[in-house]
Structure 1
Amino acid sequence: MNKTWIVTTETYLRQIKSWSFLMLVLMPFLFIAFTFGISYFAVPDAAKSDVAIISSQTALRKSFIKSSDVATTSKYTTQKRAQQATKRGDINGYLVLATKGQRVTATYHGPDELSSGEQAKIQRFLTTAQAQLNLQRAQLTPNQTQALAVQPQFKQRLQKKTASDQIAKRVSFYIIVFFVYLILTTYSSITAQEIAAEKGTKIMEVIFSSTTPRKYFNGKVYGVLLVICTQLLVYLIGGIAVVQLAERSRLTADFWQQNVDVISQVLHNLLSINLLFALLAVLLYTIISAFCGALVTRVEDAGKAAQPVVYLNLLTFAVAFAFQSNPTSPFVTVFSYVPFFSSYLMPLRLINGNATMIEAVIALGLLIVTIIGSMLYIGRIYGGLMLQTDDLGLWGNFKRGLQLK
């Protein structure tokens, strides 16, 4: 067991020190940081987007600033100072509020027109203020005033899934599928090429003289598994930091508040048993990649070693996308239990509510049994594969590999 962990440690340290691993881990965060940086400089400063509120009626001005939800500044109280600040670009413009006769008016001054959202907020305030002024003029009794204050009521009783649920499910599916596909492709290629490169040297004879092929193979798999767990841990910690930043940043706070329900559902779908399916899928594909890497006989063929696994991953990826809008299909139901396919199709069913937790556990159990069985079988024939030097082609070596005991 000590020799197994020596191989595990050596494999793990070599992988995490490589530039390919660092770039794979850091690339999403670099992309997010780059996006935030560009957005920060592209979006005007919040203070310069404010609107100054000018009015000779102090109560009207304070009421607007308090209840309108328009981005305002109380720094400028006279029209002259607000006009000068607008010309300097310190503020977006200024709004003059007044009551002329029996009508509340608002006139905006600025280089560019206000957005439709800001205009709607101003109009809502004017409507409320005008209604209050009209009530004062009408001199109604309390009962009449109360009768006029009655508002209509609107309710929704939905029988079908809401649009936000559909968006959350679709986003969750895309994130899981693309994450699994990219990680599988990356680690499959790395593992297959590493095993193939080792086979092209005489070092394997020396290694197998000091430890058994099974222990060496298990150590390789455990090392890659630790690398994958390290990457997932970094993503988890970094994801928490990104979520905290998005909730507080002025660039994304409004978007977050408007879509908090959808985001919560997406995070729930990701941080669930679906993550375990993704982890085990990468482990299974890594084991098969190691087997494929051991089939080649020349270092020059290392690049070809991962092709069978990459093609299989591409096939399952295509199947998942083809059935994304039909998760109740009998094909999806059956193949969601089949290893290699279950890591894509069972999360699809779970996200859409078409599978129970018991079904997910059964599929997970089958996946774990396949992983253990593959490790036991390949570990038993690993020595023969790595010491095999006859070049029969990839398919010929595959058939010979299956005959080894």
Structure 2
Amino acid sequence: MSQIGVVIKETYRRQVKAWSFLILVISPFVFILISFGVGYAASNTGQDNNQIAIVASDATLRYELQNSKTATTKYSSITQAKQAVKKEKIKGYFEIKQDKKRIIAAYHGTKNLTQAEKRNFLQILNQKQQELNIQNANLSQNQFKTLGTQPQFEQMVKSSDRGNQEAIKTASFMLLLFVMYFILITYTSATAQEIAAEKGTKIMEMIFSSMTAQKYFYGKIGGIICVIATQILIYILGGGLLYNLAPKFEFSKQIFNDNKLFIDKIVANLGSLSLLYVVMAVILFTVLAALCGALVVRPEDATKATQPALYIVMVGFFGALALGQDPTNVIVKVLSFVPFLSSFFMPVRIIDGSAGTLQIVLSVLILLISTVSLTVYVGKIYSGLILQTDDIGLLKSFRKGIRIK
């Protein structure tokens, strides 16, 4: 294995085995599972004591009313229903009496009927009462047919899903933006601390005696990028698993099925060129964070050193939030070609469809050239930066470091 490969392997192994990585990876899934669990518990808590017993002499009517999700078939007499209400097993019961002319229904309970429950029950009772009215009216066949005449209704709607498309674009943009912000904030600090922890140690002098600082730096960055790629891959696989399991759970099946088209289009947007910008942004900011980490003397100063990188991330994030709703804005167009910021602004234009192929290619090339150039430059000066141990401030430390050969 090459020297760079060895550094990549060791960096990757050390990062992945850390508890912080494990917590970082599983925390979103734990949050989702807890949300599912709370939803499931809420959907089942009090399910029985929210039911309504139906006590009626007409078996057909009782059956129709009991088809409601809020009705129960456990109690068939007034005495049983009263006892169930008293023991808080159900919230109430319907006592339904019927003669040849009228249906009389009375609700007894400890909780009011919801509007949906009242509407569902009354719909069935009204339908049954209408059947009795027709029977008692002794209508001829022609009169009965006349009563059955239905109004004619047509819908003439111009096909337009502009509102849905805008909602999909907004949701895709927001999700992508928050994922990128979360990853960049996390790994910018982690990379700087990783580099700062090694600075000035005897181990670094021994390593540099057997391999160049430039190769070591490339291996270091490669290992960190592999860690990030592993996390993203786990999120993709975990998201795919949730995508397939959500329709099978009772508490999420209806919501998922009602919004499946919406979810599918969001997933398609995230899997487009926008993902390429996320990957390139991660590499670019990782290199910048490594440069910041190499400028400090003590590991505890790494957070302070990463402030320039974090400021750029926040400018991109909040700028995209503020201007992202108008992708045709001239500021958005300009910043979509600026390295470090293009990863925030060009995906907005890609999702919106306002960026042409030539513009996207040009933006990607500028970002790629900037990433490669910064990586090569930091690799060349890495030896001087990592071996410079005087606590003289970031700017002076950088100037002194680039003079060390």
Distance 1:90 1:258, change over 3 A: farther
* C-alpha distance in structure 1 between counterparts of 2:250 and 2:402, whole Å: 59
Partner of 1:242: 242
Partner of 1:52: 53
Distance 1:262 1:96, change over 3 A: farther
| Number of residue equivalences | 402
Which one-letter code corresponds to 2:372 in the other structure?
Answer: I
Partner of 1:116: 115
Shifted more, 350-359 versus 226-235: the winner is: 350-359
Determine if contact 1:70/1:122 at 8 Å carries over to the other structure.
no
Deviation, structure 1 residue 22? 1.6
Structure 2 unaligned spans of 5+: none
Structure 1 unaligned spans of 5+: none
Distance 1:159 1:84, change over 3 A: same
Q: What are the superposed Cα offsets for residues 265-305 of structure 1, whole Å, 9 maximum, x if unpaired?
A: 33333343333322221121111111121222444533322
- 4+ runs deviating over 6 angstroms: 402-405
* C-alpha distance in structure 1 between counterparts of 2:263 and 2:62, whole Å: 37
Instruction: Provide the aligned C-alpha RMSD in A.
Output: 3.1
Distance 1:209 1:91, change over 3 A: same
* C-alpha distance in structure 2 between counterparts of 1:361 and 1:98, whole Å: 76
* C-alpha distance in structure 2 between counterparts of 1:193 and 1:60, whole Å: 72
TM-score, normalised to structure 1, is 0.86
Q: What are the superposed Cα offsets for residues 96-122 of structure 1, whole Å, 9 maximum, x if unpaired?
A: 455555455544333212322333333
Q: How does 1:55-74 map to 2 (within 5 A)?
A: 55-66=56-67, 70-74=69-73
Partner of 1:141: 142
Q: What are the superposed Cα offsets for residues 312-345 of structure 1, whole Å, 9 maximum, x if unpaired?
A: 1111111111113222212112222323222222
Q: Say if 2:9 is the partner of 1:2.
A: no
Q: How does 1:375-394 map to 2 (within 5 A)?
A: 375-394=375-394
Distance 1:359 1:76, change over 3 A: farther
Shifted more, 196-205 versus 386-395: the winner is: 386-395
Which one-letter code corresponds to 2:273 in the other structure?
Answer: I
Deviation, structure 1 residue 253? 3.3
Which one-letter code corresponds to 1:88 in the other structure?
Answer: K
Partner of 1:223: 223
Sequence identity percentage? 40
SS at match of 2:54: strand
Distance 1:124 1:168, change over 3 A: farther
Partner of 1:84: 83
* C-alpha distance in structure 2 between counterparts of 1:10 and 1:269, whole Å: 35
Q: How does 1:268-283 map to 2 (within 5 A)?
A: 268-283=268-283
Determine if contact 1:94/1:108 at 8 Å carries over to the other structure.
yes
* C-alpha distance in structure 2 between counterparts of 1:24 and 1:188, whole Å: 14
Which one-letter code corresponds to 1:161 in the other structure?
Answer: R
Distance 1:113 1:191, change over 3 A: same
Determine if contact 1:218/1:379 at 8 Å carries over to the other structure.
yes
